Amino acid sequence: MLYTIAIVLVVLWVLGLVTSNMLSGFVHLLLVIAIVVIVINIIRGRKLL
């Protein structure tokens, strides 16, 4: 579940970079959250897929 959320956040970040709208700061915050979720999963030893 967390991995799916992380993927969605990364996709939103990429879309934000492509469209370069005014919410770019928010989109970068979503990217940071996605990376944190992935790192937590790696530390806990869960499989990513």
Phi, psi angles (nearest 5°) of residue 47:
-75, 145
Cα separation of the two ends of the chain: 10
Query: Residues with Cβ < 8 Å from 25, sequence gap 6 or more?
Result: none
Asked if 8 and 37 touch (Cβ cutoff 8 Å), the reply is no
SS3 47: coil
- pLDDT for 21 equals 57
- pLDDT, tens digit (0-9, with 9 covering 90-100), for 15-48: 766 666 556 677 677 778 888 888 888 888 866 5
Instruction: Characterise 47 by phi-psi region: left (phi > 0), alpha (psi -120 to 50), beta (else).
Output: beta
pLDDT of residue 12: 76
Question: What pLDDT, on a 0 to 100 scale, did the predictor assign at position 48?
Answer: 56
